[in-house]
Amino acid sequence: MKIEKYHKVTREDYEEWYKENEGLREAVGREEHRLAYHLMPETGWLNDPNGLMELDGVYHIYYQYDPFDAEGLLKLWNHCTTRDFIHYENWGPVLFPDQDFDAHGVYSGSAFVENGTAHFFYTGNVKYFDRPDYDYITAGRGSNTVRVDSRDGEHFSEKQLLMTTADYPADISCHVRDPKILKHDGCYYMALGARDLESHGLVLLYRSEDLRNWEYFSRIRTKTPLGYMWECPDLFFLDGQLCLICCPQGVPKAGLNYENVHQCVFMKVDGDFRTGEFSVREEEVYHSVDRGFDFYAPQSFEDERGRRILIGWMGIPEADYTNPTEKDGWQHALTLPRQLRIKDGRLIQTPLEELKGLRRQQWSFERAESFNSAGEMLRRELGPVFEAELQFSDCRSMNLQLRRGTSLTWEDGVLTLSMEEGGFGRTRRHGVLGKLEKLQIFSDVSSLEIFVNGGEQVFSSRVYADCGHDGEKTGGYLRLEGDCEASGTVYRLGGFSVEKRKENDK
């Protein structure tokens, strides 16, 4: 069965297609760059995490998914659950583009849990072809806000169309999407990413008292425009501060900042929920949530223990670098979950505590020299799947080799992630830092996530270097040199277990 672009897809279509594609699944499952401890598409394409929540002790992770092809033309929501972020169940797709109002994609959205019910809000995407003159910015596109609910995260109520493109304010283009809910003082607020008719990005805020009827309330924008469109807004309180994470598109590179084609920034917002006055605390450069090559469209949620957890898409749209796995029928992954905090007014991100459960054997080093000789051993024995925690004192410069052609260097107050072979077009990304004190590095078969100085900065990236020793694909790479004192611990890591489940297994 062939799935066509711009056609509705039903659960039955998917199931028929699934039955016919066992061979593809097996081939993708054996592909050499498959990750050991990240969520990836079983076949095809993955992008934004959606609907993140904890419901009765179970974490639910949905994501934008196109099982049918690795270019991501169609968008469904795939559903995974976990209790510990190490053992997962993959329930397969749950929301299909099967209605007139979401026919060309069940686009991104979020979950809001109250009294044991999860309320989901997403964007139903529709592209119109009835006229030849659509620019698909001011006309030709339907961005419908849709609600469904569920008591178990797997079985859903009927889809309810809440708003269509015609319902948004008159000065807004037809790019409006990615609803995210915040409850404050007994009212519900929905943040929607938008592009206005002057091509400035902003957030539209709607208000509701029952999660069903929504009224336009206000908007959040920067005084100096930042890009033409803000995708995936995430508005939340963290340690008493109203925060906005969003993804502005079309922001030009500024020195060593905003190096990716699209951004993901953290903003502090001053807001009055009674009067509807909101202002972003203006900064010359907004804090990048991640400074690596592959990070976009993250979403956060508060779990039952009160932790704010964020997961991102370890990928980015429209980049000028590629993933070689596309030709093998799959690409992209989600990042590891991170916990967010505010410290001294700054965003701090640390890998979720549960990930320590992946740790197996460990090696510790006191001095850089012993690290060097151990580096040789690690190359042979460790494999690319490891975690390294390194501490530095008096660091004036350092160079850490992570793969053949991939290194992290610290020089003149700048941390640089460089890639040559294995980068597939990825070159250099930077972070300006006062001091280098700590690195925590998660290396998987084809990815790196690097937490700097306890989470002040993070670099997430895919990497496809042959990381082996003398051409063998068996070795990890960790070689440290520099003008500094260093100590560290390296852990061999186990992998996630992801069990494929069917809806009626529940």
Binding pattern to ligand FRU, positions 331-350, x when CB under 6 A? --------------------
Q: Between 102 and 231, whose beta carbon lies closer to ligand FRU?
A: 231
Q: Tally Cβ neighbours within 10 Å of residue 253.
A: 11
107 binds ligand FRU (CB under 6 A): yes
Partners of 50 in the β-ladder: 62
Distance CA 193, CA 362 (A): 44
294 binds ligand FRU (CB under 6 A): no
180 binds ligand FRU (CB under 6 A): no
Q: Between 316 and 402, whose beta carbon lies closer to ligand FRU?
A: 316
The yes-or-no answer on residue 48 being catalytic is: yes
Binding residue (CB under 6 A) for ligand FRU from 177, 180, 195, 426: 177
What is the smallest separation between the CB atom of 263 and ligand FRU, expressed in angstroms?
Answer: 12
Q: Between 119 and 177, whose beta carbon lies closer to ligand FRU?
A: 177
Q: Between 173 and 443, whose beta carbon lies closer to ligand FRU?
A: 173
- Under 8 Å CB-to-CB from 18, ≥6 apart: which residues? 67, 92
For residue 331, give both structure tokens: 């690409």
Handedness of CA 368, 372, 377, 379 (dihedral sign): positive
Residues 17-36 that bind ligand FRU (CB under 6 A): none
What is the smallest separation between the CB atom of 247 and ligand FRU, expressed in angstroms?
Answer: 7
Binding residue (CB under 6 A) for ligand FRU from 48, 102, 196, 259: 48
Q: Between 76 and 374, whose beta carbon lies closer to ligand FRU?
A: 76
In angstroms, how far is the first alpha carbon of the chain from the final one? 28
Dump strand ranges (E) for 185-289.
187-196, 201-208, 215-220, 229-238, 241-249, 265-272, 277-280, 287-288
232 binds ligand FRU (CB under 6 A): yes
- Under 8 Å CB-to-CB from 59, ≥6 apart: which residues? 52, 53, 81, 82, 83, 85, 303
Binding pattern to ligand FRU, positions 428-467, x when CB under 6 A? ----------------------------------------
**Which 3 state secondary structure label does DSSP give 438?**
strand
Binding residue (CB under 6 A) for ligand FRU from 38, 75, 268, 379: 75
231 binds ligand FRU (CB under 6 A): yes
What is the smallest separation between the CB atom of 262 and ligand FRU, expressed in angstroms?
Answer: 8
In the sheet that 58-66 helps form, which strands lie side by side, from edge to edge?
330-331, 44-55, 58-66, 76-82, 87-95, 497-500
What is the smallest separation between the CB atom of 193 and ligand FRU, expressed in angstroms?
Answer: 6
66 binds ligand FRU (CB under 6 A): no
405 binds ligand FRU (CB under 6 A): no
- Under 8 Å CB-to-CB from 283, ≥6 apart: which residues? 267
Binding residue (CB under 6 A) for ligand FRU from 225, 317, 494, 495: 317
What is the smallest separation between the CB atom of 203 and ligand FRU, expressed in angstroms?
Answer: 13
178 binds ligand FRU (CB under 6 A): yes
Dump strand ranges (E) for 67-186.
76-82, 87-95, 106-114, 117-127, 141-150, 160-163, 172-184
Specify whether the CB–CB gap between 314 and 38 falls below 8 A. yes
What is the smallest separation between the CB atom of 238 and ligand FRU, expressed in angstroms?
Answer: 22
* Cα 406 → chain centroid: 22
- Under 8 Å CB-to-CB from 15, ≥6 apart: which residues? none
297 binds ligand FRU (CB under 6 A): yes
Sites of contact with ligand FRU (CB under 6 A): 47-48, 64, 75, 107-108, 123, 177-178, 231-232, 296-297, 317
**Residues involved in catalysis:** 48
